[in-house]
Amino acid sequence: MATTMDTTIRNLDEQTYRAFRARAVMQGRNVGDLLNEAMRAYLARIPLAQLASSLRALEPEAFPEGNEHLSQEIDAIAYGDRRA
């Protein structure tokens, strides 16, 4: 039997989650069971061997708007403001 864990999932689309939860209730199942099933199906779709075999094959993604200076902000928090 697999070990279970409690977790928080952020940035879910509210309408999609409500429909997903309603479907779980109609089937007499809980959201966690259906999420596990959906994640297993997703993982089975594309075998790991077909994914990028190297970090060099990955394409960079832009930071979301408003995070242009995120690395500097993290450095300031982690190492202190060195501009003084």
Whole-number Cα distances in Å, 77 to 32, 64, 68, 73, 74:
36, 20, 16, 6, 5
Residue 17 makes CB contacts below 8 A (sequence gap 6+) with none
Amino acid at 83: R
How far apart CA 81 and CA 25 sit, in angstroms, is 51
- pLDDT of the chain, 84 residues: tens digit per residue: 678 888 888 899 999 999 999 999 999 999 999 999 999 998 887 766 666 667 777 777 777 788 878 888 888 888 887 654
Residue 83 is predicted with a pLDDT of 57
pLDDT at 84: 46
Looking at residue 19, what is its pLDDT? 95
